Amino acid sequence: MAKLDTPALEQSFLNNHGKNPIRAWLFSTDHKRIGILYLLSIGFFFLVGGLLGGLMRIELIAPGETIMDPQTYNGVFTVHGLIMIFLVVIPGLSAVFGNFFLPILIGARDVAFPKLNLLSWWLYIFGAILAISSQFLGSGAPDTGWTFYAPYSTETGSNVVLAVFSAFVLGFSSILTGLNFIVTVHRMRAPGMTWFKMPLFPWSLYATAWIQVLATPIVGVTFLMIVAERLFQIGFFDPSLGGDPLLYQHLFWIYSHPAVYIMILPAMGVVTEIIPTFAKKHIFGYKAIALSSLAIAAVGYFVWGHHMYTAGMSGTARWFFSFLTFIVAVPSAIKVFNWVATMHKGSITVRTPFLYTLAFIFLFMIGGLTGLWLGALATNVHLHDTAFVVAHFHYIIFGGMGFAFFAGLHYWYPKMFGKMYDEKLANVAFVIIFIGFNLLYFPLFIIGMQGMPRRYADYLPEYTGGHFWSTMGAIVLITGALLMIYNLIIRTRKKGTPAEMNPWGGKSLEWTLESPPKEHNFDEIPTITENPYNY
Amino acid sequence: MDDKNKKHITSYQTYGIVLVGLLILTFISVGVTWIELGPLTVTVALLVASVKVFIVLTYFMHLKYDSLFIKLMVAGIFILFAVIIVITFLDYWFR
Amino acid sequence: MAHSNPLLEHRDDEGAKIGMWIFIFTEILLFGGLFLVYAVFRNQYSEDFHTAAFELNAFVGTLNTVILLCSSATVAMSITAVLKKDRKTAMILLGITLVLALVFMVNKYFEWSHKIHEGIYPGSELMADLERGELLFFSLYYFMTGLHALHILIGMTILTVILFKVRNGSVNDDKIVLLENGGLYWHLVDLIWIFLFPLLYLIT
Amino acid sequence: MYPITPGVSNLAEGVDKTFMILFAISLFFLIGITIVMLWFVYKYHKKRHPVPSKSKGNNTLEVIWIVFPTIIVLILFYYGWIGFKPMRDVPEGAREVKVIGYMWDWDFEYENGKRSKDLYLAKDEPVKLNMVSLDVIHSLYIPAFRVKEDVVPGQTNFMWFIPSQVGQYEVLCAEYCGLRHSFMDAKAYVMEPEEFQSWLADFDPEETEHKGLIIVRNNACTGCHSLDGSKLVGSTFKGLYNADRNVTEDGKQITVKADDEYLLESIYEPNRKLVEGYPANVMQSYRKIITDEDVMHIIDWLKSEEMR
């Protein structure tokens, strides 16, 4: 890790105190160290997933076979989805920044169950190893897409069992993190910190944790059924044995739709922390934001069927799910309005984290509004399973969750590592990433509307233009991401200046600690009298 | 940490009575299957099972003496599950 | 100084209990997914389910229900015993629970091997010739009772560990939350069975 | 501006109307909020506005932007639903066409028993597609008609529409179905009704096909094995019988003749003798699916004049 060359670093949690550094990191129950372990492992898998995505884009640069045959392409998009969904975006913000900052933001010394927290990380690594080895062991890389739709997933000759089992293990890790956070928020808030004096990032983590706990078991047992289906022919999803393929889709989406909120809610929480700090103004409508997180979690649990409008569901189910889908758009809209209103009459400084935040709001709006197009029954029939969905999904997950992750990373980096990065270079990287992102995904909206289906290894010539520009965007985006990583890791290590305690002038509890914090965070647990947004 | 000292001790007798009650309910639900009730059989069996579950939750699992928060959570889970079933059946009933 | 830092020591029994309950919720929903599958197929093939359930031995099912209920009671009583500082009774009660659990598993073993011997198991030729609903019923039977039996085994392991901790005194009337949580887990196994029993054995 | 080709069915109107409404509302909010946000960042920049206001919120505003979006999304839901509703109401007397999806091709079967690889339609005549799948889930998608419905094994899904313009349109598979998913396409030909009638009548039900060919087609073998000598996922059926095959068995390269015994084994244990140039584990065993007797019909068909 960083060289311990300042007094603050010397006293911080980063100091191994002469112990074997590998043991001191891999078996640490300190929530901050576990957060950093997650950051490194998630960062690694993000690069692997991004590389696979880049390969897919190169294959699609022109019609016909470019660099891989269709079977390889099918394997690559499955692994890309598997890694990005289960190893990057689902743990993503809550495992990295949640672990590091949840206890600090509520004035605690650690999470409720530190050992369980470490176990979660180990399960994550175990699941990751299984997921990666499913690519190489057995009868070939899984080629089902990350959705594992039956009966294809129960019939294909590829190594589905291991891939599905890895997702099960990763789900278990996610459940334990959620459980830990719920108890932490309930039991470990500092004296005086009532629910409505709690910062809004913990609020969003709390809502997220409930979804993790309540949705994941359903997909867990579903994955077990897929395993049993393949190994013992139990036939739940196999029509030739009387089973029902749509039942699989119900069970799968009961989890996997709420999973989208596991990804995006913490992102909203991070943004909600960043905006008041840089606008120097109280967050607009604190309660509305806090409660809308719960509303999104609650209503979002029951909209899973909008992934199945064209699957042959009953008409009643179709309009019911469409109706709820539109309702769940409202709390998201409330948040956007409140973020913008917070900037009104503030005193704004535009620094790197704030740039990412502005981009987040813009991209999230595109993702959210196109979500309405997919939620509407009539347009969904045309757009479902096309590149439009791919674009919408990446605008929400990458443009939303990803940009919020970058915002949080730049926001809390000085606190986590005690060093300040080169902000000019960070801003340059931001501009490249922003341009590359839009160039990559916006054309997919257009060719999707024209009828380009998703998961196609090859396509008709009329879609060539869109695919070409999209691939160009991928190259720009990867360049920007590499520049950001270079700036944060290599350059800061050599040339970073020691970070101040409160570089942005924030009011929440983490800014009252040293950069980086001591192992036990607080010498004395603070007593809270007001919420942290009174500028 | 004041709740730690005020731990409620349930007597052996209470558990004994609860167990006998549960066993009686079990035999009732078995006995009912010998009566021809048609489609009602399942309803009765599930009803009896629900009563048993309620008793186990209340006494064996000490919900009676737990905080309101835990009680609400437990109730919430069963409601959540019921809602999932109903929503899924919006598809199956009307297909 | 970093290790055994008194500032990091933290004990919260209520928090541990909430954590256990949340874990139990995940288990309920894990089985909930299966109950949903059951509900869908039962709705689709109610006649076949009816006939297939005749094939199961209601007597063994009832016996196992009784066994599990008794074991639940003994676990609950062991908490009373520990709170009354009666370590010996607590250990005996936990021991009885483990024995009952073992009897349950033995019954289950004979029940399964009897069915397998008859040729009714997923993937068998006899299964493939059954009506589709009957096939699904038996698949559900194996899957649900199998997963439940796995939970019994996990519960037995947990209770064994706790038994030793009661013996060496690290679970006592002041530090009882481990036993309480182990008990909660055992009651969960009971809860699941209370629903499995009528749905599999009594819908004839 | 309007990025998609015009819809050419009766259902396209509802879809495209919803589309335009959503497009207008989305654009309004996206541009409006973005401009307001950037304007705030400019106007209330620290340089121009050093002292921030102490405001914490405004209940009136909050209520407005809870109620207002709720009304808008309900309106949007309504249009989405109204545009969708006719897709489920099939008019009386619609022509029924059976669609069979399999890895990786489509078959269309008409009321007189005529089968075709492409979909032939009469302009301005309602048609109902009854769709079944022989293996995994597919999805029939005709972008120009704005219709899509999954083709699910074990159940019959349907869609209907009235094509409104003569022409040739793409038929695609929109649900991922494995190796050749992106090549599972067909054409929809919309013709004048008289023209369609004569196409439909150009069919002799007496002219029976070889039993082996029917078995091969019903088991979707033709998705991977061509009838005309071209190489797909698997080798072609054309000229297969008694040809020399370079195969790998237990890691050894040998040459065998594609005789009766070899063909039977290849259907029941496809991975035993792997023909050079084709991957393992793509084909499953058909031991439980195709009976010995049916295999004999297939071999008989492979011996026939048309396949030599």
pLDDT tens profile D148-196 = 999 999 899 999 999 999 999 999 999 999 888 999 999 999 999 999 9
Task: Report residue D207's pLDDT band, with 50, 70 and 90 as the boundaries.
Answer: low
Chain A residue with CA closest to C146: the answer is A228
Chain A residues inside the 8 Å CB shell of C122 = 228, 232-235
Domain ranges of chain D: 12-88, 95-201, 211-307
Cross-chain CB nearest to A250 (options B69, B77, B88): B88
Q: What is the pLDDT of residue B65?
A: 86
What count of residues does chain D have? 308
* Interface test mutation site (partner B, options C69, C175, C196, C203, max chain B beta carbons within 10 A): C69
Q: What is the pLDDT of residue A5?
A: 61
What kind of fold does domain D12-88 have according to CATH?
Helix Hairpins (1.10.287)
Q: How much is the average pLDDT of A438-442?
A: 95
Model confidence at A493: pLDDT above 90: no
Q: Which of residues 70-109 of C touch A (CB under 8 A)?
A: none
CB contact under 8 A, B94 and A314: yes
* Least confident range of A11-20, A398-407, A453-462: A11-20
* Least confident range of A403-417, C49-63, D29-43: C49-63
Cross-chain CB nearest to A241 (options C27, C132, C147): C132
Q: What are phi and psi for residue A31, nearest 5 degrees?
A: -60, -30
Q: What is the CA C44 to chain-centroid distance, rounded?
A: 28
The helix (H) or strand (E) run that includes residue D283 is: none
Q: How much is the average pLDDT of D200-221?
A: 77
Q: What whole-number percentage of chain A has pLDDT above 70?
A: 99
- Pairing assessment for the beta strands D138-142 and D186-191 based on DSSP bridges: unpaired
Model confidence at B4: pLDDT above 70: no
Using the Cβ of B12 and the Cβ atoms of chain A, whether some distance falls under 8 Å is answered with no
Chain C closest CA to B54's CA: distance in Å?
A: 9
Chain A closest CA to C68's CA: distance in Å?
A: 24
Chain B closest CA to C90's CA: distance in Å?
A: 12
Q: How far is CA C93 from CA A142, A509, B18, C187, in A?
A: 50, 49, 17, 15
Q: How far is CA B24 from CA C62, C69, C96, C97, in A?
A: 12, 11, 21, 20
Task: Report residue A436's pLDDT band, with 50, 70 and 90 as the boundaries.
Answer: very high
Q: Which of residues 11-40 of A touch C (CB under 8 A)?
A: 17, 19
Same-domain pairing of B18 and B4: yes
Q: How far is CA A223 from CA A236, A319, C36, in A?
A: 12, 28, 15
Give chains near B: 3+ CB pairs under 8 A.
A, C
d(CA D258, CA D266): 9
Q: What is the pLDDT of residue D138?
A: 94
D290 DSSP assignment: S
In the structure encoding, which two tokens stand for residue A84, read together?
């990005």
What count of residues does chain A have? 535
* Least confident range of A32-36, C54-58, C178-182, D104-108: C54-58
Average predicted confidence (pLDDT) for chain D: 87
Chain A closest CA to C34's CA: distance in Å?
A: 7
Close Cβ partners of B50 (under 8 Å, ≥ 6 residues apart): none
Q: What are phi and psi for residue B76, nearest 5 degrees?
A: -60, -40
Cross-chain CB nearest to B49 (options C32, C73, C198): C198
Model confidence at A418: pLDDT above 80: yes
- Among A50-59, A137-146, B60-69, name the most confident range: A50-59
d(CA A201, CA A290): 9
Chain C residues inside the 8 Å CB shell of B6 = none
CB contact under 8 A, C123 and A232: yes
d(CA A44, CA A444): 27
**Superfamily of the domain at A7-512:** Cytochrome c oxidase-like, subunit I domain (1.20.210.10)
Give chains near A: 3+ CB pairs under 8 A.
B, C, D
Using the Cβ of C169 and the Cβ atoms of chain A, whether some distance falls under 8 Å is answered with no
* Interface test mutation site (partner D, options A348, A373, A446, A450, max chain D beta carbons within 10 A): A348
A309 burial (CB, 10 Å; 0-12 / 13-18 / 19+) is buried
pTM: 0.90
> pLDDT tens across A337-363, in order?
999 999 999 999 999 999 999 999 999
Structural domain count of chain B: 2
Using the Cβ of D31 and the Cβ atoms of chain A, whether some distance falls under 8 Å is answered with no
Residue pair A57/A142 in contact (Cβ under 8 Å)? The answer is no
Same-domain pairing of B51 and B82: no
Neighbours of C40 (CB within 10 A): 23
Using the Cβ of B68 and the Cβ atoms of chain A, whether some distance falls under 8 Å is answered with no
Chain C residue with CA closest to A186: the answer is C15
Close Cβ partners of D260 (under 8 Å, ≥ 6 residues apart): D299
Scored b (16 or more CB within 10 A) or e, A360-394 reads bbbbbbbbbbbbbbbbbbbbbbbbbbbbbbbbbbb
3-state helix, strand, coil in chain C (%, to 5): 80, 0, 20
Q: What is the CA C11 to chain-centroid distance, rounded?
A: 29
> pLDDT tens across A257-308, in order?
999 999 999 999 999 999 999 999 999 999 999 999 999 999 999 999 999 9
Contacts 24+ apart (CB under 8 A), D91-95: D91/D126, D91/D160, D93/D126, D94/D126, D94/D127, D94/D128, D94/D160, D95/D122, D95/D125, D95/D126, D95/D127, D95/D128
CB contact under 8 A, A314 and B88: no
Chain A residues inside the 8 Å CB shell of C31 = 221
D87 DSSP assignment: G
Domain ranges of chain C: 14-202
Q: What is the pLDDT of residue D158?
A: 93
Same-domain pairing of B11 and B32: yes
Model confidence at A191: pLDDT above 60: yes
**Superfamily of the domain at C14-202:** Cytochrome c oxidase, subunit III, four-helix bundle (1.20.120.80)
Axis crossing angle, helix A352-375 with helix A403-417, rounded to the nearest 10 = 150
- Looking at residue D219, its amino acid is N
d(CA C23, CA A389): 35
Q: How much is the average pLDDT of D246-262?
A: 84
Q: How far is CA A256 from CA A211, B79, B86, C150, D264, in A?
A: 11, 20, 19, 26, 44
Using the Cβ of A59 and the Cβ atoms of chain D, whether some distance falls under 8 Å is answered with no
What residues form DSSP beta bridges with D119? D188
Boundaries of domain holding B85: 67-95
Closest-CA residue to A170 (of A238, A251, A243, A83): A83
Model confidence at A195: pLDDT above 80: yes
Q: What is the pLDDT of residue D213?
A: 82
Same-domain pairing of B16 and B54: yes
* Interface test mutation site (partner B, options A213, A253, A302, A324, max chain B beta carbons within 10 A): A302
More confident residue, D232 or A195: A195
Closest-CA residue to A78 (of D278, D101, D179, D150): D179
More confident residue, D212 or A419: A419
Using the Cβ of A281 and the Cβ atoms of chain D, whether some distance falls under 8 Å is answered with yes
Chain B residues inside the 8 Å CB shell of C62 = 26-27, 30
Q: How much is the average pLDDT of D236-251?
A: 83
Q: How far is CA A79 from CA A55, A74, A104, A456, D212, in A?
A: 12, 9, 35, 15, 40
Q: What is the pLDDT of residue A138?
A: 73
CB contact under 8 A, A315 and B94: yes
d(CA A529, CA A285): 19
Q: What is the pLDDT of residue A88?
A: 94
Close Cβ partners of B71 (under 8 Å, ≥ 6 residues apart): B63
Q: What is the pLDDT of residue D3?
A: 58
Give chains near C: 3+ CB pairs under 8 A.
A, B
Candidates 2.60.40.420, 3.40.30.120, 3.40.640.10, 3.10.129.10; CATH matching D95-201: 2.60.40.420
Chain A residues inside the 8 Å CB shell of B91 = 246, 250, 305, 313-314, 316-317
Model confidence at D131: pLDDT above 50: yes
Task: Report residue A492's pLDDT band, with 50, 70 and 90 as the boundaries.
Answer: confident
Chain A residue with CA closest to B95: the answer is A314
Residue pair D138/D101 in contact (Cβ under 8 Å)? The answer is yes
Chain C closest CA to A213's CA: distance in Å?
A: 6
Q: What is the pLDDT of residue A1?
A: 42
Model confidence at D275: pLDDT above 50: yes
Do you find a cis peptide bond into A258, omega within 30 degrees of 0?
no
* Least confident range of A14-18, A27-31, A293-297, A312-316: A14-18
CB contact under 8 A, C65 and B26: yes
Angle in degrees, CA A191, A193, A194, rounded to 5: 120
Residue pair D100/D134 in contact (Cβ under 8 Å)? The answer is yes
Using the Cβ of A156 and the Cβ atoms of chain D, whether some distance falls under 8 Å is answered with yes
Q: What is the pLDDT of residue C41?
A: 92
Domain ranges of chain A: 7-512
In the structure encoding, which two tokens stand for residue A473, read together?
């965007």
Which of left, alpha, beta for A138 (phi over 0: left; psi -120 to 50: alpha)?
Answer: left
Query: Quick check: helix, strand or coil at residue C108?
Result: helix
Same-domain pairing of B6 and B52: yes
Same-domain pairing of B53 and B80: no
What count of residues does chain B have? 95
Give chains near D: 3+ CB pairs under 8 A.
A
Distance between terminal CA atoms of chain A? 35
Q: What are phi and psi for residue D6, nearest 5 degrees?
A: -60, 145
In the structure encoding, which two tokens stand for residue A511, read together?
């800014």
Q: How much is the average pLDDT of A443-453?
A: 92
Chain C residue with CA closest to B3: the answer is C14
Q: What are phi and psi for residue A313, nearest 5 degrees?
A: -75, 165
Handedness of CA A280, A285, A288, A290 (dihedral sign): positive
Q: Which of residues 232-271 of D touch A (CB under 8 A)?
A: none
Cross-chain CB nearest to A310 (options D52, D148, D177): D148
Q: How far is CA D216 from CA A151, D103, D209, D289, in A?
A: 21, 13, 11, 12
Cross-chain CB nearest to C19 (options A112, A218, A236): A112
Chain C residues inside the 8 Å CB shell of A217 = 26-27, 29-30, 32-33
Using the Cβ of A217 and the Cβ atoms of chain D, whether some distance falls under 8 Å is answered with no
Close Cβ partners of A40 (under 8 Å, ≥ 6 residues apart): none
Same-domain pairing of B39 and B22: yes
Helices of type H across A280-376: 286-300, 315-343, 352-375
Closest-CA residue to B63 (of B78, B85, B82): B78
What kind of fold does domain D211-307 have according to CATH?
Cytochrome Bc1 Complex; Chain D, domain 2 (1.10.760)
Cross-chain CB nearest to B61 (options C80, C187, C194): C187
Closest-CA residue to D178 (of D226, D232, D130): D232
The helix (H) or strand (E) run that includes residue A100 is: helix A99-105
Chain C residues inside the 8 Å CB shell of A168 = none
Angle in degrees, CA C86, C91, C97, rounded to 5: 130
Task: Report residue A242's pLDDT band, with 50, 70 and 90 as the boundaries.
Answer: confident
**DSSP per position, B10-68:** --HHHHHHHHHHHHHHHHHHHHHTTS--TTHHHHHHHHHHHHHHHHIIIIIT-GGGS-H
Same-domain pairing of B57 and B88: no
Model confidence at B41: pLDDT above 90: no
Same-domain pairing of B55 and B29: yes
Model confidence at B5: pLDDT above 70: no
> pLDDT tens across C65-108, in order?
999 999 999 999 999 999 988 889 999 999 999 999 999 999 99
More confident residue, A472 or A159: A472
Task: Report residue D208's pLDDT band, with 50, 70 and 90 as the boundaries.
Answer: low
Average predicted confidence (pLDDT) for chain A: 91
d(CA A500, CA A511): 9
Task: Report residue D43's pLDDT band, with 50, 70 and 90 as the boundaries.
Answer: very high
Using the Cβ of D78 and the Cβ atoms of chain A, whether some distance falls under 8 Å is answered with no
Chain C closest CA to B15's CA: distance in Å?
A: 6
Q: What whole-number percentage of chain D has pLDDT above 90?
A: 47
Q: CA torsion angle for A197, A201, A206, A211 (degrees, to 10)?
A: 150
Same-domain pairing of B71 and B53: no
